[in-house]
Structure 1
């Protein structure tokens, strides 16, 4: 299937089949794909947690507000986290990135306020989200991006240090009764003329 066809068929899954799990081979492939996500200056200010263990996933579900049924029934929930320690980030890039990338950070990002720097970290994590959702679609795996989570509770459950959860993605396979799938509820987007211009 070409990418345009995938874009037309992919949708946000609202109801999962709890008995159908994503294979370990596909999970390992997704881990490698997300590791290869693009980011500004190759900054990679992130961590991704793939959670499938039932009790841990259940605890995350309880901290997922209206998304609880999706987390409960999905095969895995993937938690997308941004680094939350500017000094730690600077140490990591100084050690791992080329001189030009570090110089760009020092000139254009470091002079910003701490809140603005952390916002920039978050922007990179959202780039990874788009990459990940596309990969899931290409592999025939259904997905649900979820900002509707209790971030502080997620951090406590996962015992995070130096990183903070921004959002999560439930992955698995749709329940045949999911009313949100395109065969039941046609996909709606604004017309091209409203959102795309050629100049």
Structure 2
């Protein structure tokens, strides 16, 4: 299947088949795909927590508002977190990135306010989301990206020291009765001319 076909067929799954699990082999592939996600200056200011333990998944579901049923029935939950400690991030890039990347950070980002730097770090994590959702679609894995979580509660449950949970993605296999799937409910997108301009 080419990428356009994947874009047309993937959707945000609302109901999962709780009896179907993503294989360990595919989970390992997804972990490596997350590790290879793109980020500005190769900054990689993130942590990805892959949750399969049913008890932990249930605890997270209970602090995820209306997303609770999806999380409980999904095979896994992947939590996307950003470094929330600027000194920790600076040590990471000084230890691992080339001089040019560190120089860019020091010149362009370090003079900004703490809130602006953290916003930039969080934006990098969002870049990995599109990469991950596309990877899931290419592997015939259904997914549901969710900002409807309680970050502070996630941090407590997952012991996210120095990181802030931003959003989570439930993954697994759709329940055949999921009314949101494209075969039952046509996908809506604005017309191409409304969102694409060619110059």
TM (norm. structure 2) is: 1.00
Does the residue aligned with 1:55 lie in a helix, a strand or coil?
Answer: helix
Q: Which residue of 1 aligns with 2:115?
A: 115
Q: Distance in 2 between matches of 1:127 and 1:40?
A: 9
Q: Which residue of 2 aligns with 1:37?
A: 37
Equivalent pairs counted in the alignment come to 199
CA deviation vs aligned residue, 1:9-57 (integer Å, no higher than 9, x gap): 0000000000000000000000000000000000000000000101000
Task: State yes or no: 1:92 paired with 2:92.
Answer: yes
CA deviation vs aligned residue, 1:106-138 (integer Å, no higher than 9, x gap): 011111100000000110000000000000000
Q: CA deviation at 1:143?
A: 0.1
Does the residue aligned with 2:38 lie in a helix, a strand or coil?
Answer: coil
* Root mean square deviation of aligned Cα: 0.3
Q: Distance in 2 between matches of 1:3 and 1:111?
A: 40
TM (norm. structure 1) is: 1.00
Task: State yes or no: 1:189 paired with 2:183.
Answer: no
Q: 1:1-199 to 2 correspondence within 5 Å? A: 1-199=1-199
Q: Distance in 2 between matches of 1:65 and 1:194?
A: 33
Deviation above 2 Å: which 4+ runs of structure 1?
Answer: none
Q: Distance in 2 between matches of 1:134 and 1:4?
A: 11
Q: Distance in 1 between matches of 2:160 and 2:39?
A: 22
Q: CA deviation at 1:71?
A: 0.3
CA deviation vs aligned residue, 1:157-178 (integer Å, no higher than 9, x gap): 0011000100000000000000
